[in-house]
Amino acid sequence: MQSERLFQAIKGNGGTAKLVLLPNESHGYIARESVLHTLAEMIEWADKYVKNRIVNKVIK
């Protein structure tokens, strides 16, 4: 419930957010697939929002 509220607050204030809810998991992830999925989401986010900004700032 807290994740959904945080997601709505970010989106409601014009921020960029993605909510990913994994089946059969609660607060901590146990299944290997869930852990790998979460890591892939984090890497994708960092590549999109952090990596490109750092490169662009160095070039300018």
3-state class (DSSP) for residue 13: coil
Q: In the predicted model, is pLDDT for residue 33 greater than 90? A: yes
* Mean of all residue pLDDT scores within the chain: 85
pTM of the model: 0.65
- Average pLDDT over every residue of 9-33: 89
What band does 1 get if pLDDT is binned at 50, 70 and 90? Answer: confident
Helix (H, G, I), strand (E, B) or coil at 19: coil
Query: pLDDT band for position 37 (50/70/90)?
Result: very high
CA 42 – CA 60 distance, rounded (Å):
26
- The enclosing H or E element of 9 equals helix 2-12
DSSP state at residue 49: I
